[in-house]
Amino acid sequence: MVSLPILPTISTSFIILSAITMAIGWRQIKQKKREAHKKTMTLAGIFALAFFIIYETRTVFIGNTSFGGPENIKIYYTIFLIFHITLATLGAILGAISLYTGYKNKLAFHRRLGPITCIVWFFTAITGVAVYLLLYVFYRGGQTTSMIKAILGF
């Protein structure tokens, strides 16, 4: 059996949870359940934040892991990773604005932005899981270098 790294497995699980809760929240508002929608979307935001905190903590203290697969596909992995990071950044910004406009009752804007946020976040989650699989499951992860080690040089 492949042994999976703990922190990336936990943080990827949080992305999946936030995408699932967001899908539930979307369904709830389609059924006009406003209170339920608010609670579920807030939970989706908390899951996304949990992912981010774990991911960043690992990046600073343990490090990022390089791709351990074949050299000739490394470039495709890197392009895919950049695509995922771009989606995740966009998703985080849209998510924050969606939560804000929801809480502030700016609903005309919120209604237009909400579906875009959900779709961007679904793709963030799918590509995030793909990155995780490529990095740790399909291939063995490469070297891990921490930001602190990289900065301080030990």
Q: Tell me which residues touch ligand HEM (CB under 6 A).
A: 22, 26, 29, 34, 37-38, 41-42, 44-45, 95, 98-99, 102-103, 107, 110-111, 114-115, 117-118
Question: By C-beta, is 76 or 109 nearer to ligand HEM?
Answer: 109
In sequence order, the β-bridge partners of residue 145 are 64
CB of 48 to ligand HEM, least distance (A): 8
- In whole angstroms, give the CA distance from residue 95 to residue 116: 10
| DSSP SS3 for 64 | strand
Question: By C-beta, is 98 or 127 nearer to ligand HEM?
Answer: 98
Q: 111: how many CB neighbours lie within 10 A of its CB?
A: 12
CB of 86 to ligand HEM, least distance (A): 18
Backbone angles phi and psi of 64, in degrees to 5: -100, 145
Question: Structure tokens of 7?
Answer: 């922190």
CB of 90 to ligand HEM, least distance (A): 13
Which stretch of DSSP H or E encloses residue 106?
none
Question: By C-beta, is 8 or 102 nearer to ligand HEM?
Answer: 102
CB of 29 to ligand HEM, least distance (A): 4
Question: By C-beta, is 54 or 118 nearer to ligand HEM?
Answer: 118
Which stretch of DSSP H or E encloses residue 139?
none
